[in-house]
């Protein structure tokens, strides 16, 4: 009787261990996300298609990154124009991860990507608006459109030059006060 009880306990322990190992080796890639499988912090595999995937339990981990376009809304910042008039500029950036491997190697998180974006956008906006007179900034919509294009091109060059794996879709000035 005792032998049979010990076998049942041992069988239950083995079953629980097998379930834990199985659950730690499976993960789901959802639609609209990338999953990176990491082994000791290094990217081993990148999954882009949704579905159930496997990894080595306890050795590999998985990290999710968004596949969709994201909007980064910059803080309103004061800038001096060419004629030394202070304005407050508020803008946003639409971006997405285009190269997951490079993104992981350089930035790793959406938060650090937004910090890098913020610096690039601020530098481009400051550089362009400080070289433009106040009247040109607030008057014609066409001048503002050209400013948006110039800023977007500068930010795109900065992000591509840094091998960040980020694609800039759009950079727009929302308002100037």
Query: For 10-50, what is each residue's pLDDT tens digit?
Result: 888 989 888 888 888 889 999 999 999 999 888 889 999 99
Going by C-alpha positions, the residue among 104, 105, 109, 118 that lies closest to residue 168 is: 118
Alpha-carbon dihedral 51, 57, 59, 62, rounded to 10 degrees: 20
Q: Residues 63, 35: contact at Cβ < 8 Å?
A: yes
Residue owning tokens 């950079």: 171
Alpha-carbon dihedral 143, 149, 150, 152, rounded to 10 degrees: 140
Question: Residue 20 is encoded by which pair of tokens?
Answer: 């834990």
Query: pTM here?
Result: 0.80
Query: For 115-173, what is each residue's pLDDT tens digit?
Result: 999 999 988 888 888 887 777 776 655 455 577 888 888 888 888 877 888 999 988 88
């Amino acid at each position: 009787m005792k032998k049979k009880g010990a076998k049942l306990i041992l069988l239950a322990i083995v079953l629980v261990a097998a379930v834990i190992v199985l659950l730690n080796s499976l993960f789901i890639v959802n639609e609209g996300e990338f999953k990176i499988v990491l082994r000791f912090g290094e990217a081993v595999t990148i999954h882009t298609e949704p579905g159930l995937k496997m990894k080595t339990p306890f050795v590999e981990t998985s990290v999710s990154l968004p596949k969709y376009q994201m909007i980064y809304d910059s803080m309103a910042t004061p800038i001096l124009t060419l004629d030394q008039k202070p304005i407050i500029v508020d803008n946003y950036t639409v971006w997405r991860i285009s190269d997951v491997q490079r993104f992981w190697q350089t930035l790793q998180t959406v938060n650090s990507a937004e910090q890098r974006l913020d610096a690039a956008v601020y530098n481009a906006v400051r550089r362009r608006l400080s070289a433009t007179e106040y009247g040109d900034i607030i008057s014609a919509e066409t001048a503002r459109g050209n400013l948006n294009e110039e800023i977007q091109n500068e930010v795109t060059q900065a992000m591509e030059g840094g091998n960040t794996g980020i694609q800039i879709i759009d950079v727009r000035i929302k308002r100037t006060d």
